[in-house]
Amino acid sequence: MRILHTSDWHIGRTFHGHSTLVALTGVLGALVAQVRENAVDVVIVAGDVFDSATPAAPAYTLLDEALLALHETGATVIMTSGNHDSAARLGFHSRLLRDGIHVLTDPLAISTPITVHDAHGPVQFFGIPYLEPAIVRQHWRAESDATGEAPALRTQAQVMHHAMDLVRAGMAANPGRSVAVAHCFAAGVDVTAGLEREVRQGGLDLVPLTSFDGPDYVALGHIHGRQQLSDRVRYSGAPLHYSFGEQHKERGSWLIDLDADGLVSTEWLALPVPRALATLTGTLDEILADANVVQHADDWVCAIYTDAVPQHEPMRRLRERFPFCALVQHQPETSGAADERSYAQRLRTAVTDIERIEAFLVHVRAGHGATEREAELIREVLDDRVRAEALV
């Protein structure tokens, strides 16, 4: 059996205020072509189908078109809900879909597999929706510990381990090869700063790799870059770049082959990147240099300019050269000899007005005082004031 593992479509997400629907439509079209070209039997979407619990109408349209296109390839589609999805809305949507498209959102149905047959017999697919401990623990009780008491399911590690116990029970009751689909943080993952939800203090949300023992393959979602935690436990990442922190991470999906005995091979299928992402750092004039424009004029650009003082209308100037500049940040370089004194301490040691103004500029400019031209203007202004006072 041939399986395509994808996840984190985030339909409806914006990129710094820009819609991604058109770009995602093209990328998912390429994914459908890969399914057809590689004779894929089952397509897995491991959570975060939508970016919001209340998607707008165009997001539903894109999902419907993608599912219809996948269905027309002859592949079975198995989709789970992620933390960005509304399990109830996604689950309701599933009732309107045709045979061969399965949307798994019910934690109480984890042990009941979707069975797909090939020449070697059945393959059991177990879908685990995103599990929020505060919501699902009312339905489950953890196994008794050594004292005979049943502790509450308080962490995602605990609820995921319990869910995988349900999967293993389902495997025992339904012979054949098996695949689990889940949406969580697994121990050892490398998250994208500022994008994926922060791991709670103490690592309570990290699911140990041993929790996934049992199935022939575990298809994970939630992390936006591809990662291999073991031969049979992997993240596919998102099909589109959704932040500049992801710009160096490939986009694609895993092509998984099962034979009669289980996992036999894996292959990475890269997806096209509609528009490359580039982060340019330097003074504003350096960023606007012709060489940068030639190389990055058609890219999404994040400009981090290091001038000592904020520049006038930097976004306007950048977009004149980079039409797709999406983000500008001012991060002045720190001075070589940092002055550890506080602003109040600098003022107390200042004797002249020039020294007081310099103390203020160093304070508001992260260590940078007046430039040579600014110092000249300051002296002229102070001299004019002295002459004006002398005439009073």
Q: Are strands 227-230 and 18-19 parallel, antiparallel or unpaired?
A: unpaired
pLDDT at 363: 75
Inform me whether the pLDDT recorded for 138 exceeds 80: no
Query: Are residues 257 and 265 in contact, defined by beta-carbon separation less than 8 angstroms?
Result: yes
Inform me whether the pLDDT recorded for 88 exceeds 70: no
Neighbours of 253 (CB within 10 A): 27
- Give CA angle at 206 (204, 209), nearest 5°: 135
pTM for this predicted structure: 0.82
Query: Are residues 261 and 16 in contact, defined by beta-carbon separation less than 8 angstroms?
Result: no
277-330: CATH topology is Double Stranded RNA Binding Domain (3.30.160)
What are the sequence ranges of the domains in the chain?
2-270, 277-330, 343-390
pLDDT at 355: 80
Please report which confidence band the pLDDT of residue 134 belongs to, taking 50, 70 and 90 as the band edges. Answer: confident
Inter-CA distances, 378 with 118, 177, 213, 367, 381, Å = 82, 78, 71, 18, 5
Please report which confidence band the pLDDT of residue 339 belongs to, taking 50, 70 and 90 as the band edges. Answer: low
28-42, 54-68, 144-158, 298-312: the lowest-pLDDT one: 144-158
pLDDT at 374: 82
User: Rounded distance, CA 197 to CA 200, Å?
Assistant: 9
pLDDT at 357: 85
Q: What is the CATH number of domain 2-270?
A: 3.60.21.10
Please report which confidence band the pLDDT of residue 201 belongs to, taking 50, 70 and 90 as the band edges. Answer: very low
**Residues in CB range of 195: below 8 A, 6 or more apart:** 224, 242, 243, 245, 246
pLDDT tens digits, one per residue of 340-370: 667 677 777 777 888 888 888 777 776 677 8
The 3-class SS string of the chain reads CEEEEECCCCECCEECCEECHHHHHHHHHHHHHHHHHCCCCEEEEECCCECCCCCCHHHHHHHHHHHHHHHHCCCEEEEECCCCCCHHHHHHHHCCCCCCEEEECCHHHCCCCEEEEECCEEEEEEECCCCCHHHHCCCCCCCCCCCCCCCCCCCHHHHHHHHHHHHHHHHHHCCCEEEEEEECEECCCCCCCCCCCCCCHHHCCEECHHHHCCCCEEEEECCCCCEEEECCEEECCCCCCCCHHHCCCCCEEEEEEEECCEEEEEEEEECCCCCCEEEEEECHHHHCCHHHHHHHCCCEEEEEECCCCCCCCHHHHHHHHCCCEEEEEECCCCCCCCCCCCHHHHHHHCCCHHHHHHHHHHHHCCCCCCCHHHHHHHHHHHHHHHHHHHCC
pLDDT at 50: 93
69-78, 163-172, 311-320, 381-390: the lowest-pLDDT one: 381-390
